[in-house]
Amino acid sequence: MKFSIVIADMKILTASDTKTWIGLSKKLAEPKTETTPELKEIIPLIKSRFPELPNTMVWGNYLIFEEFADFFIIDIDYDDIKGMENEIVDIALENGFAVLIGKENKIYKPKT
């Protein structure tokens, strides 16, 4: 895995980014469950932007989705990670979801 992006329901965000990251790490320790129907709707949107990428771990490029109750994680291995990140962030924000990128310690929120 070269890069991970978390797409989350806005309800996981707190007033403090630090508390949000701590809360997310606790949720990652919980058993995986199917995500919300609203979040499920954007998974095909993201997949359709990168149809050439497999959804299983292979040598080389891939795009893998892991679902949790109110968020999902996308594990990515792709040559143009920054371009892909920008597209995924745009899709999530346009649909009213937060984006958390741990490697960059960033949280993107949709404009309200």
Task: Please report the pLDDT score of residue 9 as a whole number.
Answer: 95
The label of the residue with tokens 């920054």 reads 82
Structural domain of residue 59, as residue ranges? 3-108
Q: What is the pLDDT of residue 102?
A: 85
- Count of domains forming the chain: 1
SS3 labels along the chain = CCEEEEEECHHHCCCCHHHHHHHHHHHHCCCCCCCCHHHHHHHHHHHHHCCCCCCCCCCCCEEEEEEECCEEEEEEECCCHHHHHHHHHHHHHHCCCEEEEHHHCEEECCCC
User: What is the residue-level pLDDT of the chain in tens, covering all 112 positions?
Assistant: 588 999 999 999 999 999 999 999 999 998 888 999 999 999 999 999 988 887 777 677 888 899 999 999 999 888 888 889 999 999 999 999 999 998 888 999 998 6
pTM beyond 0.75: the answer is yes
Question: What CATH number did the domain enclosing 46 receive?
Answer: 3.30.70
Q: Which two tokens stand for residue 90?
A: 């745009």
Residue 95's pLDDT is: 96
Strand 106-108 to 3-8 pairing: unpaired
Cβ count near 34 (within 10 Å) = 11
